[in-house]
Structure 1
Amino acid sequence: MEPTTTTTSVFHRQDAISLAVKGTLYGSGAGAFISAMQNTLTKSPVGAASFITRTGSVIGLGAAVGGSYMFFRAASANLRGVDDSVNPAIGGAVAGALLGIRVRTMPGVVGCGYTGGALGRRFSGGGVRDEVARKEGVRAHTRRDVGETIEVLGEGRGIYGAGWEERRRARLTEKYGVNFDEVK
């Protein structure tokens, strides 16, 4: 009869600080990439460094999430003495809670900690809703018809008010010394 051997895995402590620094660097790199992509997709003209000035908060958020995930994953493994699937869950809950701070309520922080905000987006329609459709809806409710504008200003007054054209011609004549009365 052969002897049975049992293999037990020995837990090795992890350096939580060095892992947190690595996670912070990886997270800030990912945040910089996402910030650059957001900056590229803006319609207004931007400079080379505007991925830091305009959407740079994403870099800081990525660094905080990456660093806190790695630190709490390693710290919980060291405290528990076991390297199992609970440790990444604890790290993910803390990192998700950082994402939930923007909600500014404790249920929002806890909810984002355990779901990453996925449930809120799913049930409220956020993230799925088309931004173009939202903007068109806003324009449809706030746009005025040209006829309505003429009614408000009065017929023949135009946008600048009665007598604007004559005042403009007088200012130009005074400034440039040219008679603009013949020009129509």
Structure 2
Amino acid sequence: MAGEDENYHPKDAIGTAVQGGLTTGVVGAIASGVQAALTKQNIGILGTFTKYGGTTAVFAGMGASYMFVRNVTANLRHKDDLYSSALGGFVAGSIVGVSKRSLPSIIGIGALGAVLTGTMTATHGLRGRRGDPDADILGEKDVARRTYRRPVAETIAELGEGRGIYGPGYEERRKQRLKETYGIEVP
């Protein structure tokens, strides 16, 4: 297929969907517990699941559908890029819209999910370039060291000696200073 990525490795869509559904389902159960705790009447521990179980189901459905759709589209296209992520985000957001029972909500929240997940994938999330596995981080750090390195004499002139910064002949100067100040002969 023209334009397909030679480095792409197929992903297990069902396995990651189950894992994503379980992970976000636990988050949804915690959110349901918080909802139950904030009610005025005491609904008990089972009220978390009977009255607010829909929250758990929506969270679990969002995680499972996002991971499934993202990995299936990536496997079909042989590319794991922002479009796969955006399509998964659209489906996950649409599940929230379905819980609102309104077609504009389905499309609107789905589009919001697509924009958010596509943007996070395109910008490598909150980590920036560190999330890019192909980035030559050591090379970039080496260039920064060579560009911004200052001579030791200049650093000592500004900060003084001590705290791990010692110039040549420091031990002799220290011995002389101790002898003059305290009269102590340092071996």
TM-score tier by shorter-chain length is: 0.5 to 0.7
Give the aligned partner of residue 140 of structure 1: none
Asked whether 1:53 is paired with 2:54, we answer no
Give the aligned partner of residue 76 of structure 2: 79
- TM-score, length of structure 1 as denominator length: 0.56
**Runs of 5+ in structure 1 lacking a partner?**
1-7, 117-184
Q: CA RMSD in A?
A: 1.5
Q: In the alignment, which of 29, 41, 46 is matched to residue 44 of structure 1?
A: 41
5 Å-filtered alignment, 1:128-147, equals: none
**How far apart in 1 are the matches of 2:98 and 2:11?**
28
Give the aligned partner of residue 106 of structure 1: 103
**How far apart in 2 are the matches of 1:51 and 1:104?**
22
Give the secondary-structure state (helix, strand or coil) at the position aligned to 1:10: coil
Give the secondary-structure state (helix, strand or coil) at the position aligned to 2:44: coil
Asked whether 1:22 is paired with 2:19, we answer yes
User: How much has 1:109 moved relative to structure 2?
Assistant: 1.3
Asked whether 1:10 is paired with 2:7, we answer yes
Q: In the alignment, which of 77, 85, 89 is matched to residue 88 of structure 1?
A: 85
Say which one has the larger Rg: 1
Classify 1:35/1:91 alpha carbon distance in 2 versus 1 (closer, same or farther; 3 Å). Answer: same
User: How much has 1:40 moved relative to structure 2?
Assistant: 0.7
**Runs of 5+ in structure 2 lacking a partner?**
114-187
Give the secondary-structure state (helix, strand or coil) at the position aligned to 2:45: coil
Classify 1:55/1:105 alpha carbon distance in 2 versus 1 (closer, same or farther; 3 Å). Answer: closer
For these two proteins, the number of residue pairs brought into alignment is 109
Letter in 2 for 1:68: S
- The answer on whether the counterparts of 2:58 and 2:99 sit within 8 Å (CA) in structure 1 is no
Classify 1:104/1:56 alpha carbon distance in 2 versus 1 (closer, same or farther; 3 Å). Answer: closer
Greater helix share, structure number: 2
**How far apart in 1 are the matches of 2:86 and 2:50?**
33
**How far apart in 2 are the matches of 1:60 and 1:104?**
15
User: How much has 1:9 moved relative to structure 2?
Assistant: 5.7
